[in-house]
Structure 1
Amino acid sequence: MTGLATTLGLARSLAIYRARPWRIGRLATFYRQFLSPGDIAFDIGAHVGNRALAMARAGAHVVALEPQAPFHAFLVRTMPSAVTVLPLAAGPVEGEGSMAVSRRHPTVSSLAPGFGAAMARRDASFRNVAWDGEQLVRVTTLDALRKVHGNPAFVKIDVEGYEADVLAGLSHPVPALAFEHLPAAADVTRACVSRLSRLGPYRFNLVSGERPAFLLPAWVEGATILDAAARSGRAGDIYARLEP
Protein backbone atom coordinates (compact mmCIF):
# COMPACT_ATOMS: atom_id res chain seq x y z
CA MET A 1 0.00 0.00 0.00
CA THR A 2 1.88 3.06 -1.28
CA GLY A 3 1.16 6.60 -2.33
CA LEU A 4 1.13 10.12 -0.99
CA ALA A 5 -1.56 9.46 1.63
CA THR A 6 0.40 6.52 3.03
CA THR A 7 3.61 8.56 3.17
CA LEU A 8 1.83 11.41 4.92
CA GLY A 9 0.30 8.96 7.39
CA LEU A 10 3.73 7.56 8.27
CA ALA A 11 5.13 11.08 8.64
CA ARG A 12 2.22 12.05 10.89
CA SER A 13 2.81 9.08 13.17
CA LEU A 14 6.54 9.83 13.36
CA ALA A 15 5.78 13.42 14.31
CA ILE A 16 3.43 12.29 17.08
CA TYR A 17 5.41 9.41 18.58
CA ARG A 18 9.08 9.84 17.63
CA ALA A 19 9.69 13.60 17.37
CA ARG A 20 10.30 13.92 21.13
CA PRO A 21 12.98 11.30 21.86
CA TRP A 22 13.18 12.17 25.57
CA ARG A 23 9.72 10.64 25.96
CA ILE A 24 11.19 7.24 25.09
CA GLY A 25 13.64 7.60 27.98
CA ARG A 26 10.80 8.40 30.36
CA LEU A 27 8.88 5.37 29.11
CA ALA A 28 11.94 3.18 29.63
CA THR A 29 12.14 4.33 33.25
CA PHE A 30 8.44 3.59 33.67
CA TYR A 31 8.77 0.12 32.12
CA ARG A 32 11.59 -0.86 34.48
CA GLN A 33 9.00 -1.60 37.17
CA PHE A 34 7.88 -4.49 34.94
CA LEU A 35 11.06 -5.40 33.07
CA SER A 36 14.58 -6.40 34.07
CA PRO A 37 17.59 -6.87 31.78
CA GLY A 38 17.21 -10.07 29.79
CA ASP A 39 13.42 -10.25 30.09
CA ILE A 40 11.19 -10.85 27.08
CA ALA A 41 8.51 -8.32 26.15
CA PHE A 42 5.85 -8.39 23.43
CA ASP A 43 4.76 -5.20 21.67
CA ILE A 44 1.48 -5.98 19.91
CA GLY A 45 0.73 -3.16 17.49
CA ALA A 46 4.21 -1.61 17.46
CA HIS A 47 3.37 1.12 14.92
CA VAL A 48 6.49 3.38 14.73
CA GLY A 49 8.23 1.56 17.59
CA ASN A 50 8.37 4.12 20.39
CA ARG A 51 7.15 1.59 22.97
CA ALA A 52 9.42 -1.17 21.62
CA LEU A 53 12.41 1.17 21.88
CA ALA A 54 11.51 2.02 25.48
CA MET A 55 11.21 -1.65 26.42
CA ALA A 56 14.58 -2.35 24.79
CA ARG A 57 16.16 0.52 26.74
CA ALA A 58 14.75 -1.06 29.89
CA GLY A 59 16.86 -4.10 29.03
CA ALA A 60 14.30 -6.39 27.44
CA HIS A 61 14.43 -8.39 24.26
CA VAL A 62 11.32 -7.19 22.44
CA VAL A 63 9.18 -9.10 19.96
CA ALA A 64 7.36 -6.35 18.05
CA LEU A 65 4.34 -7.14 15.87
CA GLU A 66 3.34 -4.63 13.18
CA PRO A 67 1.26 -5.85 10.23
CA GLN A 68 0.86 -2.55 8.36
CA ALA A 69 3.34 -2.87 5.51
CA PRO A 70 4.85 0.68 5.51
CA PHE A 71 5.33 0.62 9.28
CA HIS A 72 6.80 -2.88 9.31
CA ALA A 73 9.32 -1.80 6.65
CA PHE A 74 10.23 1.28 8.70
CA LEU A 75 10.74 -0.80 11.86
CA VAL A 76 12.93 -3.34 10.06
CA ARG A 77 15.19 -0.48 8.94
CA THR A 78 15.38 1.35 12.25
CA MET A 79 14.99 -0.98 15.23
CA PRO A 80 18.04 -2.07 17.25
CA SER A 81 19.11 -5.69 17.45
CA ALA A 82 17.26 -6.14 20.75
CA VAL A 83 13.95 -5.82 18.86
CA THR A 84 12.65 -8.64 16.66
CA VAL A 85 10.14 -7.22 14.17
CA LEU A 86 7.43 -9.48 12.75
CA PRO A 87 4.90 -8.59 9.99
CA LEU A 88 2.04 -10.08 11.99
CA ALA A 89 -1.11 -9.19 13.86
CA ALA A 90 -2.29 -11.07 16.95
CA GLY A 91 -5.75 -12.43 17.55
CA PRO A 92 -7.77 -15.30 19.03
CA VAL A 93 -6.59 -17.91 16.51
CA GLU A 94 -3.84 -18.23 13.92
CA GLY A 95 -4.80 -17.47 10.34
CA GLU A 96 -5.48 -14.39 8.24
CA GLY A 97 -7.53 -11.26 8.76
CA SER A 98 -8.65 -8.18 6.87
CA MET A 99 -7.39 -4.93 8.34
CA ALA A 100 -9.27 -1.71 7.64
CA VAL A 101 -6.55 0.88 7.03
CA SER A 102 -6.72 4.62 7.42
CA ARG A 103 -3.90 5.84 5.21
CA ARG A 104 -3.85 9.38 6.63
CA HIS A 105 -4.50 8.30 10.24
CA PRO A 106 -2.81 4.87 10.39
CA THR A 107 -2.83 4.78 14.19
CA VAL A 108 -6.53 3.82 14.01
CA SER A 109 -6.22 1.02 11.44
CA SER A 110 -7.97 -2.01 12.89
CA LEU A 111 -8.86 -5.66 12.52
CA ALA A 112 -12.00 -5.19 14.61
CA PRO A 113 -15.10 -5.51 12.38
CA GLY A 114 -17.07 -2.27 12.26
CA PHE A 115 -14.57 -0.40 14.44
CA GLY A 116 -14.51 2.73 12.27
CA ALA A 117 -18.27 3.09 11.98
CA ALA A 118 -18.77 2.49 15.71
CA MET A 119 -16.15 5.03 16.74
CA ALA A 120 -17.48 7.65 14.33
CA ARG A 121 -20.88 7.32 16.01
CA ARG A 122 -19.56 7.45 19.55
CA ASP A 123 -16.62 9.87 19.37
CA ALA A 124 -16.65 13.13 17.42
CA SER A 125 -12.86 13.07 17.02
CA PHE A 126 -13.20 10.05 14.72
CA ARG A 127 -15.77 11.57 12.36
CA ASN A 128 -13.21 13.00 9.96
CA VAL A 129 -11.22 9.76 9.77
CA ALA A 130 -11.54 7.72 6.57
CA TRP A 131 -10.74 4.01 6.51
CA ASP A 132 -9.83 4.09 2.84
CA GLY A 133 -7.71 0.98 2.46
CA GLU A 134 -7.62 -2.71 3.27
CA GLN A 135 -4.76 -5.10 3.90
CA LEU A 136 -4.84 -8.85 4.32
CA VAL A 137 -2.62 -9.69 7.28
CA ARG A 138 -1.29 -12.84 8.89
CA VAL A 139 -2.53 -13.42 12.43
CA THR A 140 -0.76 -15.28 15.23
CA THR A 141 -1.68 -15.66 18.91
CA LEU A 142 0.03 -14.74 22.15
CA ASP A 143 0.23 -18.45 22.97
CA ALA A 144 2.01 -19.13 19.67
CA LEU A 145 4.46 -16.28 20.31
CA ARG A 146 5.20 -17.69 23.76
CA LYS A 147 6.03 -21.09 22.29
CA VAL A 148 8.51 -19.59 19.80
CA HIS A 149 10.04 -16.68 21.72
CA GLY A 150 9.57 -17.61 25.38
CA ASN A 151 7.39 -16.37 28.20
CA PRO A 152 7.13 -12.57 28.30
CA ALA A 153 7.47 -10.58 31.49
CA PHE A 154 5.36 -7.82 29.94
CA VAL A 155 2.93 -7.51 27.03
CA LYS A 156 1.72 -4.22 25.55
CA ILE A 157 -1.40 -4.33 23.32
CA ASP A 158 -2.57 -1.35 21.26
CA VAL A 159 -4.71 -2.56 18.37
CA GLU A 160 -7.70 -0.21 18.08
CA GLY A 161 -10.66 -2.14 19.41
CA TYR A 162 -9.15 -5.60 18.90
CA GLU A 163 -7.52 -5.88 22.34
CA ALA A 164 -9.99 -8.41 23.75
CA ASP A 165 -9.50 -10.60 20.67
CA VAL A 166 -5.74 -10.55 21.23
CA LEU A 167 -6.22 -11.59 24.87
CA ALA A 168 -8.50 -14.43 23.72
CA GLY A 169 -5.36 -15.97 22.23
CA LEU A 170 -3.66 -16.14 25.66
CA SER A 171 -4.41 -19.19 27.79
CA HIS A 172 -1.91 -18.65 30.64
CA PRO A 173 -1.33 -15.55 32.76
CA VAL A 174 1.78 -13.45 32.25
CA PRO A 175 3.26 -11.23 34.98
CA ALA A 176 2.15 -7.87 33.56
CA LEU A 177 0.24 -6.43 30.60
CA ALA A 178 -1.04 -3.13 29.28
CA PHE A 179 -3.87 -2.60 26.83
CA GLU A 180 -5.33 0.52 25.26
CA HIS A 181 -8.50 1.96 26.75
CA LEU A 182 -10.80 4.12 24.59
CA PRO A 183 -13.76 5.79 26.33
CA ALA A 184 -15.92 5.17 23.25
CA ALA A 185 -15.03 1.46 23.30
CA ALA A 186 -15.87 0.70 26.94
CA ASP A 187 -17.25 -2.70 25.91
CA VAL A 188 -13.77 -3.71 24.76
CA THR A 189 -12.24 -2.53 28.04
CA ARG A 190 -14.77 -4.57 30.02
CA ALA A 191 -14.05 -7.65 27.93
CA CYS A 192 -10.30 -7.27 28.50
CA VAL A 193 -10.65 -6.89 32.25
CA SER A 194 -13.02 -9.85 32.37
CA ARG A 195 -10.63 -12.03 30.37
CA LEU A 196 -7.64 -11.19 32.54
CA SER A 197 -9.61 -11.72 35.74
CA ARG A 198 -10.43 -15.24 34.55
CA LEU A 199 -6.78 -15.95 33.73
CA GLY A 200 -5.41 -15.06 37.15
CA PRO A 201 -5.48 -12.79 40.22
CA TYR A 202 -4.73 -9.54 38.41
CA ARG A 203 -4.87 -6.06 39.87
CA PHE A 204 -5.12 -2.97 37.69
CA ASN A 205 -4.04 0.64 37.31
CA LEU A 206 -4.59 3.36 34.73
CA VAL A 207 -2.46 5.71 32.63
CA SER A 208 -4.00 8.71 30.88
CA GLY A 209 -2.82 9.48 27.36
CA GLU A 210 0.91 9.09 26.75
CA ARG A 211 2.01 10.26 30.20
CA PRO A 212 4.02 7.50 31.95
CA ALA A 213 2.45 7.83 35.39
CA PHE A 214 -0.33 5.96 37.12
CA LEU A 215 -3.52 7.81 37.98
CA LEU A 216 -4.41 5.65 40.98
CA PRO A 217 -2.31 5.49 44.17
CA ALA A 218 -2.87 1.72 44.50
CA TRP A 219 -3.56 -1.27 42.28
CA VAL A 220 -7.24 -2.17 42.31
CA GLU A 221 -9.66 -4.93 41.31
CA GLY A 222 -11.43 -5.13 37.96
CA ALA A 223 -14.69 -3.40 38.89
CA THR A 224 -12.81 -0.48 40.40
CA ILE A 225 -10.58 0.04 37.36
CA LEU A 226 -13.61 0.07 35.07
CA ASP A 227 -15.16 2.82 37.19
CA ALA A 228 -11.90 4.78 37.20
CA ALA A 229 -11.52 4.47 33.42
CA ALA A 230 -15.08 5.68 32.90
CA ARG A 231 -14.54 8.65 35.21
CA SER A 232 -11.27 9.66 33.55
CA GLY A 233 -13.02 10.28 30.23
CA ARG A 234 -9.70 10.08 28.37
CA ALA A 235 -8.00 7.48 26.24
CA GLY A 236 -5.02 5.77 27.79
CA ASP A 237 -3.75 2.39 28.90
CA ILE A 238 -4.94 0.00 31.57
CA TYR A 239 -2.13 -1.97 33.21
CA ALA A 240 -2.63 -5.38 34.76
CA ARG A 241 -0.23 -6.92 37.28
CA LEU A 242 -0.43 -10.52 38.44
CA GLU A 243 -0.59 -10.67 42.20
CA PRO A 244 1.41 -13.36 44.05
Structure 2
Amino acid sequence: MKKTIKNILKRLDIFYEVKFSPFTQWYLEQRNPSLKKQRAFDRQFFSELLGTNNQLIFDIGANQGHKTHIFRKLSKKVVSVDPDDTNFAILNIRFKKNPDITIIKKAVDASNGESVLYITEEGSGLNTMSNKWKDALSNTEESRWEHAIEYNKKVTVNTITMGDLIRAFGTPDFIKVDVEGFEKNVISGIDTPVPLISFECNLPEFYSESLWCVDHLHSLDNSYLFNAFDEKTWVFNDFITYDQFRNWFVNENQKRYFEIFAKRSK
Protein backbone atom coordinates (compact mmCIF):
# COMPACT_ATOMS: atom_id res chain seq x y z
CA MET A 1 0.00 0.00 0.00
CA LYS A 2 2.76 2.45 0.98
CA LYS A 3 4.64 1.68 -2.23
CA THR A 4 1.49 2.23 -4.31
CA ILE A 5 0.84 5.62 -2.69
CA LYS A 6 4.48 6.58 -3.20
CA ASN A 7 4.32 5.69 -6.91
CA ILE A 8 1.10 7.68 -7.36
CA LEU A 9 2.58 10.74 -5.68
CA LYS A 10 5.71 10.45 -7.83
CA ARG A 11 3.63 10.27 -11.00
CA LEU A 12 1.82 13.40 -9.87
CA ASP A 13 5.23 14.99 -9.19
CA ILE A 14 4.27 15.85 -5.61
CA PHE A 15 5.98 13.05 -3.67
CA TYR A 16 8.75 15.17 -2.14
CA GLU A 17 6.40 18.07 -1.51
CA VAL A 18 4.15 15.76 0.51
CA LYS A 19 7.03 13.91 2.20
CA PHE A 20 8.75 17.07 3.42
CA SER A 21 5.64 19.00 4.39
CA PRO A 22 5.59 20.07 8.07
CA PHE A 23 2.69 17.73 8.80
CA THR A 24 4.38 14.67 7.25
CA GLN A 25 7.64 15.37 9.06
CA TRP A 26 5.75 15.73 12.34
CA TYR A 27 3.88 12.48 11.64
CA LEU A 28 7.11 10.62 10.86
CA GLU A 29 8.57 11.76 14.17
CA GLN A 30 5.52 10.50 16.06
CA ARG A 31 5.81 7.12 14.36
CA ASN A 32 9.56 6.92 14.87
CA PRO A 33 10.66 7.87 18.41
CA SER A 34 14.35 7.44 17.57
CA LEU A 35 14.04 9.90 14.68
CA LYS A 36 12.23 12.37 16.91
CA LYS A 37 14.91 11.99 19.59
CA GLN A 38 17.76 12.45 17.09
CA ARG A 39 16.25 15.59 15.59
CA ALA A 40 15.60 17.04 19.04
CA PHE A 41 19.20 16.33 19.98
CA ASP A 42 20.49 18.01 16.81
CA ARG A 43 18.39 21.11 17.44
CA GLN A 44 19.62 21.43 21.02
CA PHE A 45 23.24 20.66 20.13
CA PHE A 46 23.53 23.31 17.43
CA SER A 47 21.57 25.85 19.43
CA GLU A 48 24.00 25.48 22.34
CA LEU A 49 27.02 25.46 20.03
CA LEU A 50 26.07 28.40 17.82
CA GLY A 51 23.54 30.51 19.67
CA THR A 52 20.80 32.29 17.73
CA ASN A 53 22.44 35.53 16.54
CA ASN A 54 24.40 34.22 13.56
CA GLN A 55 24.46 36.13 10.30
CA LEU A 56 25.49 33.35 7.90
CA ILE A 57 25.98 29.58 7.97
CA PHE A 58 27.24 27.30 5.18
CA ASP A 59 25.77 23.79 4.97
CA ILE A 60 28.21 21.93 2.73
CA GLY A 61 26.83 18.54 1.74
CA ALA A 62 23.31 19.55 2.72
CA ASN A 63 21.72 16.29 1.55
CA GLN A 64 17.97 16.67 2.09
CA GLY A 65 18.19 19.73 4.29
CA HIS A 66 17.65 18.52 7.85
CA LYS A 67 20.59 20.59 9.14
CA THR A 68 19.71 23.49 6.84
CA HIS A 69 16.29 23.55 8.52
CA ILE A 70 17.96 23.81 11.94
CA PHE A 71 20.51 26.40 10.82
CA ARG A 72 17.84 28.75 9.45
CA LYS A 73 16.40 29.04 12.95
CA LEU A 74 19.84 30.04 14.25
CA SER A 75 21.05 32.34 11.47
CA LYS A 76 19.72 35.14 9.29
CA LYS A 77 21.00 33.46 6.14
CA VAL A 78 22.03 29.94 5.13
CA VAL A 79 23.88 28.78 2.02
CA SER A 80 22.96 25.16 1.35
CA VAL A 81 25.22 23.29 -1.10
CA ASP A 82 24.73 19.83 -2.61
CA PRO A 83 25.50 18.47 -6.11
CA ASP A 84 22.95 15.62 -6.14
CA ASP A 85 19.97 16.11 -8.49
CA THR A 86 17.45 14.56 -6.09
CA ASN A 87 18.72 16.49 -3.10
CA PHE A 88 18.66 19.73 -5.08
CA ALA A 89 15.01 19.11 -5.95
CA ILE A 90 14.16 18.32 -2.33
CA LEU A 91 16.00 21.38 -1.01
CA ASN A 92 14.10 23.62 -3.43
CA ILE A 93 10.78 22.09 -2.42
CA ARG A 94 11.51 22.36 1.30
CA PHE A 95 12.82 25.91 1.28
CA LYS A 96 11.26 27.55 -1.79
CA LYS A 97 9.30 29.94 0.41
CA ASN A 98 12.35 31.02 2.40
CA PRO A 99 14.37 33.73 0.61
CA ASP A 100 17.03 33.61 3.31
CA ILE A 101 18.20 30.16 2.21
CA THR A 102 20.34 30.03 -0.93
CA ILE A 103 20.56 26.61 -2.58
CA ILE A 104 23.53 25.82 -4.79
CA LYS A 105 23.70 22.72 -6.97
CA LYS A 106 27.45 22.24 -6.95
CA ALA A 107 30.09 20.24 -5.15
CA VAL A 108 32.72 22.07 -3.14
CA ASP A 109 36.18 21.09 -4.34
CA ALA A 110 39.78 22.30 -4.41
CA SER A 111 39.16 24.06 -7.74
CA ASN A 112 36.32 25.34 -9.88
CA GLY A 113 35.26 23.19 -12.81
CA GLU A 114 33.79 19.71 -13.02
CA SER A 115 34.24 16.44 -11.15
CA VAL A 116 32.54 13.06 -10.67
CA LEU A 117 29.85 12.18 -8.13
CA TYR A 118 29.54 8.44 -7.42
CA ILE A 119 25.96 7.41 -6.70
CA THR A 120 24.72 4.41 -4.76
CA GLU A 121 21.13 5.67 -4.65
CA GLU A 122 19.45 8.90 -5.68
CA GLY A 123 19.65 11.34 -2.78
CA SER A 124 21.67 8.97 -0.58
CA GLY A 125 23.89 10.37 2.14
CA LEU A 126 26.54 7.87 1.00
CA ASN A 127 26.91 9.36 -2.47
CA THR A 128 30.47 10.61 -2.67
CA MET A 129 32.98 12.58 -4.70
CA SER A 130 35.78 10.50 -3.21
CA ASN A 131 37.00 7.59 -5.28
CA LYS A 132 38.89 6.36 -2.22
CA TRP A 133 35.73 6.30 -0.05
CA LYS A 134 33.74 4.66 -2.83
CA ASP A 135 36.32 1.88 -3.08
CA ALA A 136 36.40 1.43 0.70
CA LEU A 137 32.63 1.16 1.05
CA SER A 138 32.23 -1.15 -1.93
CA ASN A 139 34.97 -3.52 -0.75
CA THR A 140 33.14 -6.75 0.11
CA GLU A 141 35.89 -7.88 2.51
CA GLU A 142 36.43 -4.66 4.45
CA SER A 143 33.10 -2.83 4.37
CA ARG A 144 32.21 -0.95 7.56
CA TRP A 145 28.68 -2.30 7.46
CA GLU A 146 27.08 -5.71 7.15
CA HIS A 147 27.25 -5.55 3.39
CA ALA A 148 29.23 -3.65 0.81
CA ILE A 149 27.76 -0.53 -0.78
CA GLU A 150 27.28 -0.72 -4.54
CA TYR A 151 28.04 2.35 -6.62
CA ASN A 152 26.58 1.66 -10.03
CA LYS A 153 26.23 5.18 -11.36
CA LYS A 154 28.36 8.26 -11.69
CA VAL A 155 27.54 11.75 -12.93
CA THR A 156 29.55 14.84 -13.76
CA VAL A 157 28.85 17.79 -11.47
CA ASN A 158 30.00 21.38 -11.33
CA THR A 159 32.42 22.38 -8.59
CA ILE A 160 33.23 25.54 -6.67
CA THR A 161 35.87 26.31 -4.06
CA MET A 162 35.09 27.28 -0.50
CA GLY A 163 37.11 30.43 -1.06
CA ASP A 164 34.83 31.48 -3.90
CA LEU A 165 31.73 30.75 -1.82
CA ILE A 166 33.10 32.99 0.91
CA ARG A 167 33.90 35.74 -1.57
CA ALA A 168 30.40 35.48 -3.02
CA PHE A 169 28.39 35.37 0.21
CA GLY A 170 30.71 36.59 2.96
CA THR A 171 32.52 34.90 5.83
CA PRO A 172 30.14 32.50 7.58
CA ASP A 173 29.86 32.16 11.33
CA PHE A 174 29.90 28.39 10.92
CA ILE A 175 30.64 25.87 8.16
CA LYS A 176 29.28 22.35 8.45
CA VAL A 177 31.09 19.93 6.12
CA ASP A 178 29.54 16.51 5.45
CA VAL A 179 31.00 15.27 2.18
CA GLU A 180 31.77 11.57 2.61
CA GLY A 181 35.55 11.42 2.32
CA PHE A 182 36.00 14.64 0.33
CA GLU A 183 36.92 16.78 3.32
CA LYS A 184 40.47 17.61 2.24
CA ASN A 185 39.28 18.87 -1.15
CA VAL A 186 36.71 21.09 0.54
CA ILE A 187 38.97 22.50 3.24
CA SER A 188 41.93 23.03 0.92
CA GLY A 189 39.84 25.70 -0.80
CA ILE A 190 39.61 27.76 2.40
CA ASP A 191 42.13 30.58 2.07
CA THR A 192 40.97 32.75 4.96
CA PRO A 193 40.12 31.68 8.52
CA VAL A 194 36.48 31.26 9.54
CA PRO A 195 35.14 31.42 13.10
CA LEU A 196 33.96 27.82 13.38
CA ILE A 197 34.01 24.73 11.15
CA SER A 198 33.21 21.04 11.52
CA PHE A 199 34.07 18.09 9.31
CA GLU A 200 33.88 14.30 9.46
CA CYS A 201 36.84 12.04 10.14
CA ASN A 202 36.77 8.39 9.04
CA LEU A 203 39.73 6.29 10.15
CA PRO A 204 41.95 4.65 9.20
CA GLU A 205 41.05 5.47 5.59
CA PHE A 206 41.41 9.24 5.92
CA TYR A 207 44.06 9.53 8.60
CA SER A 208 46.47 11.65 6.56
CA GLU A 209 43.70 13.73 4.97
CA SER A 210 42.10 14.54 8.32
CA LEU A 211 45.44 15.48 9.84
CA TRP A 212 46.14 17.66 6.81
CA CYS A 213 42.85 19.51 7.38
CA VAL A 214 43.79 20.20 11.00
CA ASP A 215 47.23 21.41 9.93
CA HIS A 216 45.78 23.60 7.18
CA LEU A 217 43.37 25.36 9.51
CA HIS A 218 46.21 25.94 11.98
CA SER A 219 48.30 27.43 9.18
CA LEU A 220 45.52 29.91 8.42
CA ASP A 221 45.26 30.99 12.06
CA ASN A 222 47.33 29.55 14.89
CA SER A 223 44.65 30.55 17.39
CA TYR A 224 42.37 27.72 16.28
CA LEU A 225 41.24 25.41 19.08
CA PHE A 226 39.97 21.89 18.41
CA ASN A 227 37.62 19.28 19.77
CA ALA A 228 36.18 15.96 18.60
CA PHE A 229 32.54 14.94 18.80
CA ASP A 230 31.61 11.27 18.95
CA GLU A 231 28.41 9.40 19.81
CA LYS A 232 26.60 12.51 20.99
CA THR A 233 29.35 13.68 23.31
CA TRP A 234 32.49 15.79 23.19
CA VAL A 235 35.74 13.89 23.53
CA PHE A 236 37.24 16.77 25.56
CA ASN A 237 35.47 18.90 28.14
CA ASP A 238 36.58 22.01 26.31
CA PHE A 239 38.33 22.93 23.07
CA ILE A 240 42.07 22.30 23.24
CA THR A 241 45.11 23.69 21.47
CA TYR A 242 46.38 22.55 18.11
CA ASP A 243 49.40 20.80 19.67
CA GLN A 244 47.25 18.99 22.22
CA PHE A 245 44.72 17.89 19.64
CA ARG A 246 47.35 16.78 17.17
CA ASN A 247 49.11 14.75 19.84
CA TRP A 248 45.83 13.04 20.78
CA PHE A 249 45.01 12.35 17.14
CA VAL A 250 48.43 10.87 16.34
CA ASN A 251 49.25 9.03 19.56
CA GLU A 252 46.10 8.31 21.55
CA ASN A 253 42.96 8.19 19.44
CA GLN A 254 41.46 4.75 18.78
CA LYS A 255 38.13 5.88 17.34
CA ARG A 256 37.14 5.08 13.75
CA TYR A 257 34.68 7.91 13.28
CA PHE A 258 34.09 11.33 14.81
CA GLU A 259 33.58 14.93 13.82
CA ILE A 260 36.33 17.48 14.22
CA PHE A 261 35.36 21.00 15.30
CA ALA A 262 37.77 23.91 14.97
CA LYS A 263 37.09 27.40 16.29
CA ARG A 264 39.14 30.56 16.41
CA SER A 265 39.95 31.77 19.90
CA LYS A 266 40.66 35.36 18.89
Equivalent residue number for residue 53 of structure 1? 69
1:89-104 paired onto structure 2 within 5 Å:
89-103=107-121
Equivalent residue number for residue 29 of structure 1? 44
What is the count of residue pairs matched by the alignment? Answer: 231
Equivalent residue number for residue 130 of structure 2? 112
Equivalent residue number for residue 163 of structure 2? 143
SS in 1 for 2:234: coil
Of the three residues 183, 197, 205, the one matched with 2:218 is 197
Please provide the CA RMSD for this pair: 2.9
Query: Hey, what's the Cα distance between the residues in 1 that align with 2:153 and 2:196?
Result: 34
Name whichever of 183-192 and 144-153 sits farther off.
Answer: 183-192
Q: Are 1:187 and 2:208 counterparts?
A: yes
The structural deviation recorded for 1:158 is 0.8
Tell me the TM-score normalized by structure 1. Answer: 0.83
Name whichever of 170-179 and 146-155 sits farther off.
Answer: 146-155
SS in 2 for 1:165: helix
The structural deviation recorded for 1:126 is 7.6
Aligned identity (percent) is 20
Residue identity in the other structure for 1:189:
S
Deviations 1:15-67 (A, max 9, x none): xx986245444323322333543510001100111111111122341101011
Structure-2 change in CA distance of 1:115 and 1:243 (3 Å): same
Q: Which has the higher contact order (CA 8 A, sep 6+)?
A: 1
- Unaligned runs of 5+ residues in structure 2 are 1-6, 11-15, 20-24
Structure-2 change in CA distance of 1:126 and 1:69 (3 Å): farther
Query: Hey, what's the Cα distance between the residues in 1 that align with 2:161 and 2:173?
Result: 16
- Unaligned runs of 5+ residues in structure 1 are none
SS in 2 for 1:193: helix
Query: Hey, what's the Cα distance between the residues in 2 that align with 1:136 and 1:180?
Result: 24
Name whichever of 103-112 and 151-160 sits farther off.
Answer: 103-112
Equivalent residue number for residue 169 of structure 1? 189
Q: Are 1:129 and 2:149 counterparts?
A: yes
Residue identity in the other structure for 1:91:
D
Q: Is the 8 A contact 1:37 1:59 kept in 2?
A: yes
The structural deviation recorded for 1:107 is 1.6
Q: Is the 8 A contact 2:132 2:181 kept in 1?
A: no
Equivalent residue number for residue 102 of structure 2? 84
Equivalent residue number for residue 231 of structure 1? 253
Q: Is the 8 A contact 1:28 1:58 kept in 2?
A: no
Structure-2 change in CA distance of 1:191 and 1:127 (3 Å): farther
Query: Hey, what's the Cα distance between the residues in 2 that align with 1:126 and 1:149?
Result: 42
Structure-2 change in CA distance of 1:106 and 1:205 (3 Å): same
The structural deviation recorded for 1:151 is 1.1
SS in 2 for 1:206: strand
The structural deviation recorded for 1:168 is 0.9
Query: Hey, what's the Cα distance between the residues in 2 that align with 1:28 and 1:59?
Result: 13
Structure ID, larger Rg: 2
Deviations 1:114-165 (A, max 9, x none): 3221343654328510111101111011111112111101001111111011
Tell me the TM-score normalized by structure 2. Answer: 0.76
Query: Hey, what's the Cα distance between the residues in 1 that align with 2:180 and 2:43?
Result: 23
Structure-2 change in CA distance of 1:25 and 1:129 (3 Å): same
Query: Hey, what's the Cα distance between the residues in 1 that align with 2:254 and 2:228?
Result: 9
Equivalent residue number for residue 82 of structure 2? 66
Structure-2 change in CA distance of 1:172 and 1:135 (3 Å): same
